[in-house]
Each structure stands twice: as structure tokens, then as C-alpha cells.
Amino acid sequence: MNLKANKTFFKKVFWAVFCFIFANFLAALAVPALILPIENLAGRALSYEVLVRLYIIFASLLLAWLITVICWWRPRAIIWHRGLIFSWCAFLALLFVFIFDQRWSLIEEYSWIRYPTAAALFLAALLWLKLAGQNRVNKIILSAFGLLSLGLIFAASDELFLLHERIGDNLQKIFHWPGYVTDFVTVFYGIIGLIVIFFIVRTLNKFLSSAQKSFLVTAHLWGIFLFIAATLFDTLDNQLFSGIQAITDKLVWRGHEFSDFWYIIWQPKFFFNAWEEVLEFFAAVFFALGAYGMTVRGDLLQPPSGQIINPRFSWKQKIILAMSGGAALLVIFLIVSVGRTNDGVFVKIADLGAGLYHTDDLFYHPQWGVVVANESAPALAGNHKGPGVFVLQNGALTRLPDPQNQLRDIDSVTANSKTVYVSDSAQGKIFRYSIRGGWVALPVMKNFPRRPEGLFVDEDDLITVIDESENSITQIFPDGQTKKEYPDHPLFKAPEGIIWHPILKTFLITDDTTGAIFKYTPGQPLEIFVDPRDGLRSPEDIAVGERGEVIVSDNGRREVIIFSAEGRELKRRRFPLLYRDLQGVAVDGLGALFIVSSNGFDNASFISSVLWKIQQEAF
């Protein structure tokens, strides 16, 4: 390709990247506003998996519409019109996978998207084999086409049978390399692909027309470009997450609030890995389109229907294009203006600026106020946003001193009039705090819970603690003696939160896997308080109001639900999209609700933890 052709190609690359980013920008504006009406229609909150699929479909639809406009604008090349059919077939295949593949997450190895990707690669391989068969006399062309078809067959087999994952796993085991080696195997694929394309184009240089050469290089370079971009998304997701979190942390420190526009990358690692799979699919479509273009007889720039068409816009085309584009943008911004997910009911009390980081639990006691367990990360011990316990009194949030950094992985908090207790599952300990004595670890006695999590303490210092790792409930008496039970119930799979209900005279326990809430009386079988069929999905924490109402945070539904003392649903309120990871919940003596939404570990979410307040009358 000459210098002018190179400039033209890179100009096309620039505009294609710009269109891709702009399509995602419009999706980030429009889709959040559509979510609340869809959720109201469905009667439940949509998972992040579903929402990512909506985003990608919306952005892909915009790109398909743009390709249609371009082909309608300059209909000189017959192959581009057939390429338009390829693009819409690709969009419909993607839509089919997104709607009907409900078994696998989009980023899992066995997701259905590998089937259309492999099918497009196999189609490209078959078309090149067909071309090789048509040129058996010329051994140079035969070798080039055969080599390309074999590479595409290997790539398709890799999609179906996960070859590069197996190669990467074996390399890791043999040479003890880090886990990202598998990603670099696919980068190596991309480099080999570039070399192969260069070799083939150079080999076929004298056999191809300028139009065929241009189309072959453009289609296949785009395929390889998308493939490498997809691989980089997968390889650099950790770095992308760290960069995004660093930026948003600085914004939070300066008091900026985030809108639902950011929700498109709420879990950056998931989002980029999802686009990785989609870009791999589009790359395969480009490979198939490139191969198909070589099978078209005659000049690729031959006008359709034998007509000569002016490549420039006519006034009629300009008006129609401007009106269609303007109408699309108008619809998007109208959707944004009317589809709000936060109606001002939720009042932010504190966030990262106060030191909240992966905050996990809340408890209210009149003596202490609202007590907040900041789980954080053990590596941040001693840091401003490290593990610790905060108390909210008279509107001020202060950290209880821990000069020796004993707290490492706080899972749950409870309190009575004299003492605050926290569970630390990583250390297998329970700590108590008093104003005079500071933090002291309880002595580990026989039958002590292995990984203590949810806990409750009464005024006599009798502690009841859940151990999710062994599905046990342990009572720890003031003298250190313990009594452990292993409740036998089919829905008791992952106990999470526990509270004492003074009117019912029983404990209530949430299970965030089965969605059930249990009544628990020591020494007696579990009873169902709220059945998961009553509208719970992943209940986390639980609290009891002054009149006996039961308040539950459900991060699976992004909702806070209030039940009567009889287990009848009274009210529910759905949280804004960005703050969907609901954890602790508490209610003070005046009936105000306090909820903490959390960011996640392992690159789950870049959004800071937030302590919220909701007045029950506004609920």
C-alpha cells in the first residue's frame, strides 16, 4: 500500500475507533434511563450481566445503523452492500446469543458466543479453501490461500475447544509463569496473524487487482485489529480497573457525585472482558467478509445494478441523514431526561472521604449510635481507608481507635450498652471494644467458630455468631464456653446476617444464596420467616425497627425491603444503579434507615462505599 493509501487507512481506523467510543457514550447515556421502566415491567432488578448485554446490543445497533447509513450514502462498491448483509446478520446472531444464552455468563469460557465466532472463522476458512481450489494451477496462490485457511481453522477450533487456555495453563504449570500468560498466548496469535497477512498480500501482489488488494488488506487488518484490541482488553483489565479507580477516588475526595452514566463500567473487568468476546466475534465476521470479497467476480468497485452513482451527498440525502441522526439523538436525550433512577430519597452521609472502603455491615445501639464496620483490606491496615469501626453520633462519623492495627478483615459488627463486637473471619477471631480497654480478642476456646461472620450480642454479653464456611451457629457465653449447632434445612446454604427480634423472641437469619430468611431458636429446628418465593434474591443484612418491622438489604435485587413482624411485605425501595452492592442495614430509635453500599474486592466495582440515610416516611 502506498503513502496515500496508508493515510486513508489510518484515517478510517481513527473514525472507526471514534464511532465505537461514541456509540458506547450514547449507550451510557440512554440505557440507564431505560433500566428503571424495564425493571418495573419485569417486577425485579436486572443483574449487571443483563445490563452489560443491553449496553453492548445498544452500542452494536448504533454501529450497524451507522454502517447502513454509510453504505446508503456512497453505494459504489457492490461488496460493501453485501458486507452490509454480513453486519446485520452478525448483529442478529449477537442478539440471539444475548437473549437465549441464560446458562452462561458472557465472559465465561463456555458462553454461546463462541459458536457464532467459530462459525464465522470456519466460513472464512472454507471460502479460502474454495479459492485455493480454483487456483490449483498456481502453486503460490494455492500455498497462500491454504496457509490462511489452516490458520482460520485453528482459530475456530481454539474458540470451540479452548486451545489457547489449555496451552496457557500448561505453560504456567511447566514454567511457573503468572496467570496472565494465557492472555499473552492470544497476543502471540495476533502477531502471527499480522505476519501471515503481510506474507499473503506480498505474495499475491502481482495477482490481485488494486481493488481486491485494498479490500483484502482492509477487511483482514480490521479483523486482526479487533482481535488484538479484544486481547488487550482481556490482558490489561487489571490495569484499566486500577486507573479508573484512581480517577474516581480522586473525584470522590473532591466531593463529586457520580451519575448512572458511569454504570456501563460499574465492574470494569467484567465490562472489558465482555467486549473482548464481542470484538473477537466481530473480528471473525471481518475475516469471513474479507474471504467472501475475494470470491466476488469482477471489479469490487463495480456499481450495483450497473448504474453510476455520484459518491457525494445529494441535498435529499443530506436532509434525510441529518433528520435521522438528529431524531436518534433526540430520542436518546429524551430517554435520559425522563428516566431517572434516583429520586432524592437517598441521602449520602459519608463515603471514601471519611475512610469508607469496602464497608460491610451496620448496627444501631442507642449508646453508640450507628456503628459501621469498614472491612477494607488487610494490606491497608493503618491507612486512612483501612480496616476499622466507625460510629455515627450527632451527624459526625468517627473511627474507634485501633493503634495496634489488630483489626484485619471485619465482616460483621454488633454492640450492647458497654461493648462493640466485630467478627474477623480472616483471623478466625472476634474482637470486643470498650472505651477503657480498647480492642481485645476473645479467647479461642473449644468449638469456637472457624471463620466467624454475622453476629449479635445481648446485654448480658451472650454472643450468637454465624460461620458461613461450615453453616454453623455458635453461642459464646460470657465465661468463654461455646455451644455449636449445625441446622439441617435444605435452604440453609450460606447464612449471612443475624438479628434478635424482641417481639417474636427469636433470631432472624438471612441466607444470601437461597434468598430465605429463617427463624432460629437455639436447640430447635429452623423455621421459614420469609420464603424466597416472596421476592428475595440475595438478602444480606437484617435489622428490626421499634414497632417490630423487619428491614432487609437485598443486593441481588438492589432493594431495601420492609416486612411486618409476621413476614408480610410492607414496602420496598430500589437503589440507584451505581450503588447496587447493598450490604449493612440498620434503623435508629427515630425510625430512620441507614444502609451501606459497598465496592467489591477482586476488581468487582470501582465505586466507593457509601453510608446512606433514608427517612421511613420518605421510603
| Of 314 and 236, more confident | 236
What domains can you pick out in the chain, each with its CATH number?
16-297+314-338 (no CATH), 347-618 (2.120.10.30)
Kindly write down the DSSP assignment for every residue of 211-226, as one continuous string: HHHHHHHHHHHHHHHH
| Cα 535 off chain centre by | 23
Burial 107-129 (b: 16+ CB within 10 A, else e): beeebbbbbbbbbbbbbbbebbb
Q: Is-contact 386 401, C-beta < 8 A?
A: no
CA 69 from centroid of its chain's CA atoms: 32
The arrangement of strands across the sheet holding 527-530 comes to: 495-501, 506-511, 517-520, 527-530
Question: Is 524's pLDDT higher than 60?
Answer: yes
Q: 345 and 573 in contact (C-beta within 8 Å)? A: yes
From the list 527, 511, 582, 510, the residue with the least C-alpha distance to 553 is 582
User: Which band of pLDDT confidence, cut at 50, 70 and 90, is reported for residue 442?
Assistant: very high
Confidence of residue 336 (pLDDT cuts 50, 70, 90): low
DSSP-assigned beta bridge partners for residue 51: none
pLDDT in tens, 177-208: 766 666 666 666 667 666 766 766 676 666 66
Torsion over CA: 291, 124, 224, 277 (sign): positive
In whole angstroms, give the CA distance from residue 165 to residue 181. 9
Q: With 60 as the cut, is the pLDDT of residue 542 above it?
A: yes
pLDDT tens profile 277-325: 898 898 888 888 878 877 764 443 344 444 434 445 566 656 666 666 6
Reported pTM? 0.81
Tens-place pLDDT, residues 412-421: 999 999 999 9
Q: How confident is the model at residue 221 (pLDDT cuts 50, 70, 90)?
A: low
User: pLDDT over 90 for what percent of the chain?
Assistant: 39
**Is residue 496 within 8 Å of 454, Cβ to Cβ?**
yes
Separation between Cα atoms, residue 212 and residue 194, nearest integer Å = 18
Please give the residue that has the higher pLDDT: either 553 or 225.
553
The DSSP secondary structure of 293-329, one letter per residue, reads HHHS-S-TTPPGGG----SSPPHHHHHHHHHHHHHHH
